[in-house]
Structure formats: C-alpha cells, structure tokens
Amino acid sequence: MECMDVFYASDDGYAQHLCVSMASVLRHSQWPVRFHVLDGGISESNKAVITKHVKKFPYSEIEFIVVDNDFFKDFPISERFTVASYYRCIIHELRPNIDKAIYLDCDVVARCCLGELFNIDVTGYYAAVVEDPNIMMDARKGLLDLPDDCRYFNSGVLLLNLRKIRKESVFEKIRVLINTYEEHLTFQDQDLLNMLFFQKVKFLEPSWNVMEIVYRNGGRFCQHRFYANEFFDDCANNPRLIHYADRSTLWFKKPNTHLHKFWLDYYRYLRTTDFYRFFWQFPVFLLWRTFVTKKLMKQLRRWLFRIHFTDNSQIVRLFGVYIMNRSGTMCG
C-alpha cells in the first residue's frame, strides 16, 4: 500500500496541537503514514513526546526538518501568523523526491482516514483545496487583484501536487508578490497562495475543512454559494477534517469565545497523548476558566469563604452563611 506523506509546520508553542492532530490522523488511518514536521523551534522534550506517540502505530514514521528562517527574514509576520506559516511554501524544495503530499495546519483534527483525500487526482492542478466560507474573504479578492468571481481558499488543508509546483517554479514569484501586496497581506501565506495558485486548484467538498465560522450566529458570517444548502449543512455536521481556526477550542491559549461545534473532539485525542495534564485540561474546568469573568470569580470566592476583621467589624462567612456578624455576635 502506498505511503501517505503528511506535512506540518510548527514551533514549540504549537507542539501539543501538532501531536493531537497526528494522533487523530493515526487513529483513523488505514494507510501507512510518513509525517514530515517543518520545525520552527520545537524543544527536544516535545519532539520526544511526539515521536513516542507516532511510534505506537505500526507503519508510521516521523521526521523533523529544521528550516533556515533566514530565507524568510523579509517576509511579513505577526503574533498570529509566525514565520512557520510560510514553511508550506518550500516543501517542494525540502523534499524533492516527494511528488504529492498532504499539508495540514496543527489545529486540524481528522475524523476519517486521510487516504481518501490523498487518493484524489490533482493532475493539472497545483493543489486540491477547500473554499474559505468566511464572507469577509470576498473583500480580500479586490485587494489582491483577484477577479470577483474567483473562489478564495483556506490554506489550512492542502493536497499538494509538488511535482507540478516544482516543475513550474511557482514560488519564484513569491518575493515579488510580497513587495507588491505587503500592506494587504492580512492572511499572509494564505493570501500569497491564493495569488500563486490562481486558476490552478481543484475545489474539494467543504467537509474536508470545516471551521467554526460556518456555525456562528446560525451561519450569518458564512457563504456557500457554490453548494446547495442541504449539502453544505450535511458537510458542516459531518466534517472529515475539523479546523480549529481562530483558536476555536479551549485548549489554545486565549481561546476564541466562539467555540467550534466539535470542540470536544480535540480533547478525545489529547487524552491519548503525553501532553494530557488531567484536571487542568478537563473541559469543565477550561469552560469555567474561559467564560467566568474575573468579577464573578471574585464575588464567588467572597460568597464561599470570607473573613474580615477590623476595629469596626468582624465578619466570617462560609458558603453564603454568616457565622459571625459585625458586632461579633454568633448568628448560628
């Protein structure tokens, strides 16, 4: 059986999410999987945890590829989009012997075997992709000089035809595009890929990259004009790949308050890894920590237990019951 090549790009801050994503891929895979991690500074201890998990599965392999960041020194970055987000643009150079590969963001969790995705024919295309359903992406096309009727895709899930990309030297144009459009590159690598791959992508069913935006406010911020409503809804409710873009699950630092409908799927795979920290990562605890305000927490602590002694007042309160009043008289 053919081995699937699956690429990720990560720094140490996303090491846990990387391992969770791999755990989900391995859990469902009926194909041998060869992982390639474009390493943006993952610690040796985290590499050991990730490698240990991958080696639990027969016919799976992993390698960490150190990337020279000097190549990207002039590329625009931000807190959200680090230099590691550009690594997918040089996969064809880093592994010239691989002609076809899947690329996944670290915040993607699989619910099926990726063999179905890998088996899609991309002859004549640079990649197979999923259209970004966020309605705000329509406005980006004009800024990037893309036609109004073209389809803007999300770069978190890609089936790459590396052979064609390599043969046609697609990424040689990337610096020119950065110099021309830098002030408009809000979604940096994704914007660049949409320009570089224009008219050379095959669009996949939405179920291959389902983001939280399709559920928010009843889908108010989502567009799916190329799909019938019933079909799109079926894809959204039965995702093949869950994409926690915008930190839409609680296990990210500073998670989005809009949670993905399938936010708990992350937890199921986290529990199978050595990144799992028991109580501190229980969903109920994280829900509390995320959504209970500091003001409410302070009020709750005062309700649960309060001792207050001054010259004018003495208060002892336990679970909302006053044990002692201001004058020091027992309340019973």
pLDDT digits (tens, 9 = 90+) for 278-306: 888 899 888 877 777 656 666 666 666 76
Residue type, 80: R
The per-residue pLDDT for 175 is 84
- Measured CA distances, 197 to 8, 200, 302 (Å): 20, 5, 58
Tell me which H or E stretch contains 330.
none
The per-residue pLDDT for 329 is 47
Fold classification of 4-289 is Spore Coat Polysaccharide Biosynthesis Protein SpsA; Chain A (3.90.550)
**Which of the four pLDDT bands, split at 50, 70 and 90, describes residue 269?**
very high
Domain with CATH 3.90.550.10 in the chain: 4-289
Percentage of the residues of the chain whose pLDDT score is greater than 70: 87
The pair of three-digit structure tokens given for residue 214, joined into one six-digit string: 């399709």
Closest to 240 measured CA to CA, from 215, 211, 218: 211
The per-residue pLDDT for 89 is 87
Q: Give the residue, 118 or 185, on which the prediction is more confident.
A: 118
Closest to 88 measured CA to CA, from 117, 52, 129: 129
The per-residue pLDDT for 70 is 78
Q: What average pLDDT does the structure give for the chain?
A: 88
